[in-house]
Structures are given as structure tokens and as C-alpha cells.
Amino acid sequence: MIMSCDEYFESSESNSEALFQETSSEDDSMWEDVPLEVSPVTHAESSDTLSLTIGRYRSNKHDKWVQKQRYRRTIHHLGMICYLLTARRRNKWISNPRILKQLKKLLPDSFIQGRHKSFKKAYKKFLRHNDVASKESAQLQFKNILKYLIKWFRLNYKLNSHGIRVSGYVNDVQKARKTPFRYFPCTAPPIKNVEDFRAVIKAFKHNRDTGAQLLTGLIRSLGFEARLVFSLPLLPTKELGLVQPVNDKPRMQHTKDIDLLYPYFWTEVIDPCDESCIHLVEAISFENDSDRLVTLKSYDLNEEVHPKNLHNFYTSRYCPTLSKDVRMTMQYVVALEKCNNVIDVSPRYMKNIAYRYYKHSRISRESLRSLVLFRSLIYLCNGKRSLLANKSKEQDILRKVALINNDLPKSYSDAQKNLNFCVPSLLKYNETIAPGAKVFGKLYLPKFNRKEPIYSRRDVTIGRSEEQWRLLGRCIKEDQFPFPVKKIENILPRTLKRRRIHNSNKLNGDDHLNFTHIYSFDQTQYIKRPSLTVSESGKVSLPRNEWGNIEIFSRNMVPRECVWVTLSNIEDALSDYVQKKFTCPINTPIEYVPVVTGFNFKSKPGYAIPIRDGVIVLERDEVIIKRIWLHYKTEMFQNSKRKLKLECLRSWNTLVRTLRIKARLDDTYGENHL
């Protein structure tokens, strides 16, 4: 995990609503004017040297902070991919028939002929009669089998190496690269393929992570449906003071990861008599027998989830709490089935993650990237395989558990950091509480000396102005104009023209004209595509505005029967073609319209400078346009080559002339005339 590389992933929000609601706080900041700052005069070797820096000055400390954030973000994203792929490969191995056969041979014959055989009889009786008594008898024997497997596994499996130990980031990366064993123990024999895994099974000793995987394979070898559960040991990208400690070799030779109080791998076993019942099995990390075998419900058709029966669907035993002795974290938990399907079961073990299921979730860009990457990886791992009916019921229950299992903020600082709840005074300028929203409690704010109601973030409506929605390719519905969700006052318009209007309204007492109406996503729709105009003579004309261009901020704004061509220098090429500034064998008349994709308010403060990107042409002219562009590029390349040759000849001429002058001076005045 010691690496340093550029940012590997960029946010790719394909869902339009998620893209619009992603970061409402950045709408204004991305268009703010940036002042030109002049750095102090720096004296170099010569006192006449003057150094000026135009732009925003950034210190070396800021650059280091940016590099550190990129470093952590890269480790977080790459770690998620590597951990998930490794878990899927191990899960595939413990589903191999040869592995299952080898694992079953390890169990004593007395167990196979005794407890396991008697359970089969009780299970057949339950299937035949399907009554309560036979069901309870079969479930009791099944629990006894799991308890026996836990005790047998603890007696026979030996820990001789270390597994995953992720406690924090390394401060001195260079030293860690030279001596990685200083921070990360590497005493575990490598497992590169199935044969190495079979050798570990034969020896029946390794680290605790491999032991949990073998226990899952043992339960599967008996014919039971078991999932391998993996808590991804990802480090947070924020500064939390988590530092990877230096290994204490004498102590670690005896502990063998016993000092880690929480597991990374454990097992979920589906009850064969009741698919809605699930047993959590962990045989190494926990010392109490009650923690090694926990029974929960994966779904319940007869009962809804509410805070009173939440203990039937959720357990906090596997989620570590940061303290002086515990440095482990839990962010995502996945369960891998025998068919290698990946299921997100985080709500079963974690709380305060309701924001992951909100439509309009105000989370940081980094957290959103992590969540999108995690869900994309699960989708890619599962492919086109759809969940069964009971699995979809389980996912619905987990979603409800996540929405219920949350702690209310207890102070003003907690309310600021909380991603699930909010109070009205902490809302941003474009946020408002939906009418009829449920109040979950009251919070006393000493800063304002009053109590405010606590609302769910799910009930927060995020809005934008009509211009902001237009920049995102949407427009306000005609019947929604009189019903804005909020009205805000323009603090300071960006352009000089609007500032004059703003000040004029204030002087004339028309302050209401300086207010901007904010609309929600549900009050908008896609902008209608502009249509082509056909004259009486049958000539087709492209749509354009009074300045001779067309504003396009998304692909859905491209007119029908038109193509948006974004080749480099395409506008210059077509302009030179129309003015016949370069030789081109094509003489077909064409029509194009430059495309404006945004405005720049920073290069010239007080003015909106249009940003152009490509042109709009008719579909029938697309091939001709690209051929014209190709001829233009070819001629530009030839011209640049010709200019380069002329520059070389000019330089050579200067060199020869200089040498001739030097030779004449040497002949006239001697070589030491200088």
C-alpha cells in the first residue's frame, strides 16, 4: 500500500440528477473573480532583475497538502479495487469442488456420521411435515453443528503468520519503501494459485484472514449456503491522525494478529430451514461464545423495520470504534456468495450511513467518488446476473435499516458534520426544507440561543436559478415559474452591466427586482432542441443567436439533423475555407455555426467572455467538414515544416556570415585582436 501516483479516477456521474445535485456549494465559487496578485520583488544574482507573478500565489505548503490529498485518494481508490478483486479470487477458490472435497476430509468421521447425519434426517422430516416442531428441531441441530465447527476450528487451526494490518498512513514513505517490514509484517507464505491454497489447507495453518475463508469453505463443503463477508480495510482520505505504527517484532511473534480486536473476514450462513434467518460466524477474533455465533434476520415478510425491532436486523459487534487501542476502520462491507455475486451488506454492521441512499445527498466530492466507484465495482462484478426474489427483499430491508439506524446530532459542531440530519440555520443559500417534512427532534444552538428542529437530509430540496439550470442543459417548466422553492438576493453580479442594473434598482427602490428565483430539479425539464429554418426557396439555415453563434451546454441541446463537431481548430479551418485562405480541392458551399459552451469571468473581470468549442453543422455536411479540416491541418503542417526549414537556413546563413567576419578580422588584426 506504499505508492505515490497521480489521481487515478475522475468523477463520472452519468445520472443527470446526481450530477446536478452533486455539489451545490461550488456553483458560485467556480465563477468568482480571481484577483491578480503580484509577488514581492525577488533579487537574484543581479540587482536589476525583477520577478513578477501574475495569478493566485500558492505556497509550497499548499502544494504539499494537495499532493498528500492526491496520494491518499489514490491509495483509497486503488485499495478498494485490489481488496475486492482479491476477495473474489479467494471466494472462487473456496467454491472449487476439489477444495470443498479436501476441506470435508479434514472433518472427523464421528461428526459426519453423527451430528451431520442426524441433521439431515431432521431436515428431511421438516420438508416432509413442514410443521413448527420439526422446524425448531432442525434449526436447533443446525446451530449445534455451527457451534461444533467453531470449537473444532479453534482447536485445530494454527496461526503462524500475520494477515491484513492497516492502521494508518506511513509518515516517512521513503524509509517505508526501503524497509517495508518495518511497518508491514510479511511472514505469511504467499498464496498465488489454487495449488498454494491447497497446500495451506493441508498444513491447516496460516493467518486469521485465511482461516476465516477456510471456515466458510468448510461450511459450504457440508452443503450449506455460506457467504464470505469482507470489511474492506480502506483508509479515510481526510486527516484523522491515523498513522501506521512501527512493528514491535518480539510482541508480534507471539500475538499473530490477536491484538486486532475486530475481524476483516467472517461468514454469513443462511439457515436451511428459514431463508430469512442468517447466522454470523467468527471463530478467531472474538473471545466470547455469544459473539462467535450471532443470529439475525435478513428479511421479514410479516413485520416492518422500526427502531424497536432493529436489533433483529443489525449488530454493532463487528464495527470497530476508534480509540487508543483500536485503529481499525469500517467503511464498506460486502458479502460474496458461492456463485461469486457481490452484495453490499454495510447497513447490517454499520450505522449513520443513510446518506448513501439519499437522492440529494450533500456529501463531499471525494466521498461521492468513493461511493460511485464502490457501486460501479459491484455492478461490474455481478455483470448481468440479477438478484433473486429473496435477495431483493434482503436489499430492501438493508435500505430501511440504513435509513432508520442513525444518531441525531447533539451539538452545533455535530450538526455541521452530520450527513444524515440538518437544522434550518445550517442550510446553504440554495437549500430549503420540503413542506411537511418530519421533525426528528430539537437541537439547542448556543450560537443563536434557540432550539431548532432537526430534519432529515432526504427532505432538503436543492435548487438553482434559471441561468444555472440552463448551463446544465435544463429549463424551467412553464407552469412552475410562479412557484419557486426559494428567493435569494443577488449579493454582487459578475458583469459590469448587471452591476449597473443592480445599483439602479437599489436607488429607485425596486429591491424586489434584485431577487433571484430558485427552482428544484423536479420543476425543470430538458431544454427543447432548436429547430432548423427552411426558407421559401428551400434553403436550410442553422439556428443562431444575435451574435452569430449558438449556446450549447450539453449534448441534448444539439439541434435535430445537426452534428456537433469538436475537432481542434475546426472553427479556424472552416473560416479560412470560406475566405479561401488555403488551397482545398473541395468547392462545396457549407454552413456552420460556432458553439459557445460557457463563459469566462476571470480573464477580464467585469465581463463575460464566451468560451467556444467546436461548430454545429448539418448531418449531411459532416463528412465534407471533416475532409476540409483534414486538408487544413495538412497544409498547416506543411507550412510549419516550411517555416522550420526557412528558419534553419536563416540560422545557417547567420552562422556562416559570422564565421566569415571572424576569419576576416583574424586575418587583418590577428587572432588575439580582442
The distance from CA 297 to its chain's CA centroid, rounded to whole angstroms, is 30
Q: What integer pLDDT is reported at residue 496 of this predicted model?
A: 83
Higher pLDDT, 501 or 24: 501
Q: Is the dihedral of CA 631, 636, 637, 643 positive or negative?
A: positive
**Can you tell me the mean pLDDT for 510-538?**
86
Q: What is the pLDDT of residues 2-13, one digit of tens each?
A: 333 333 333 333
The distance from CA 350 to its chain's CA centroid, rounded to whole angstroms, is 19
Q: What integer pLDDT is reported at residue 250 of this predicted model?
A: 67
| Residue % of the chain over a pLDDT of 70 | 85
Q: What integer pLDDT is reported at residue 505 of this predicted model?
A: 84
Check pLDDT > 70 for residue 484: yes
As a whole number, the mean pLDDT across the chain is: 83
Kindly indicate the confidence band of residue 69, based on its pLDDT and cuts at 50, 70 and 90. confident
H helices then E strands: how many in the chain? 19, 23
Cα angle 540, 541, 544; round to 5: 160
Q: What integer pLDDT is reported at residue 216 of this predicted model?
A: 95
Q: Is the dihedral of CA 558, 559, 560, 566 positive or negative?
A: negative
Q: Quick one: fold of 528-674?
A: Alpha-Beta Plaits (3.30.70)
Kindly indicate the confidence band of residue 186, based on its pLDDT and cuts at 50, 70 and 90. low
Q: What integer pLDDT is reported at residue 157 of this predicted model?
A: 93
Kindly indicate the confidence band of residue 655, based on its pLDDT and cuts at 50, 70 and 90. very high
Q: What distance in Å separates the CA atoms of residue 414 and residue 400, rounded to the nearest whole number?
A: 23
Q: What integer pLDDT is reported at residue 259 of this predicted model?
A: 74
Cβ atoms of 624 and 590 closer than 8 Å: yes
Kindly indicate the confidence band of residue 240, based on its pLDDT and cuts at 50, 70 and 90. low
Q: What integer pLDDT is reported at residue 34 of this predicted model?
A: 32
| Residue % of the chain over a pLDDT of 90 | 39
Q: What integer pLDDT is reported at residue 657 of this predicted model?
A: 94
The β-bridge partners of 159 are 206
Choose the CATH number for 64-404 among 1.10.1060.10, 3.90.260.10, 2.140.10.30, 3.40.1710.10: 3.90.260.10
Kindly indicate the confidence band of residue 30, based on its pLDDT and cuts at 50, 70 and 90. very low
Q: List the single range of 23-27, 106-110, 208-212, 570-574 with lowest mean pLDDT.
A: 23-27
Helix ranges (DSSP H) in 130-266: 132-156, 173-178, 194-203, 208-221, 249-255
Kindly indicate the confidence band of residue 165, based on its pLDDT and cuts at 50, 70 and 90. confident
Q: List the single range of 114-128, 214-228, 250-264, 654-668 with lowest mean pLDDT.
A: 250-264
**Domain residue spans of the chain:** 64-404, 412-462, 465-526, 528-674
The three-state secondary structure class of 458 is helix
Cβ atoms of 171 and 243 closer than 8 Å: yes
Kindly indicate the confidence band of residue 672, based on its pLDDT and cuts at 50, 70 and 90. low
Cβ atoms of 556 and 529 closer than 8 Å: yes
Q: What integer pLDDT is reported at residue 345 of this predicted model?
A: 94
Cα angle 257, 263, 267; round to 5: 130
Q: What integer pLDDT is reported at residue 516 of this predicted model?
A: 86
Q: What is the pLDDT of residues 394-425, one digit of tens each?
A: 889 999 999 999 999 998 888 888 889 999 98
Kindly indicate the confidence band of residue 531, based on its pLDDT and cuts at 50, 70 and 90. confident
Higher pLDDT, 74 or 182: 74
**Can you tell me the mean pLDDT for 472-499?**
84
Q: What integer pLDDT is reported at residue 386 of this predicted model?
A: 56
Q: What integer pLDDT is reported at residue 429 of this predicted model?
A: 85
Q: What is the pLDDT of residues 570-623, one digit of tens each?
A: 999 999 999 988 888 888 888 999 999 988 888 888 888 889 999 999 999 999
Q: What is the pLDDT of residues 458-481, one digit of tens each?
A: 888 888 888 889 888 889 999 998
pTM for the whole structure: 0.75
**Can you tell me the mean pLDDT for 636-662?**
93
Report residue 424 as a C-alpha cell.
434550518
Q: What is the pLDDT of residues 41-54, one digit of tens each?
A: 333 333 344 343 44
Backbone angles phi, psi at 443, to 5 degrees: -130, 125
Q: Quick one: fold of 412-462?
A: Anthopleurin-A (2.20.20)
Q: What distance in Å separates the CA atoms of residue 539 and residue 542, rounded to the nearest whole number?
A: 10
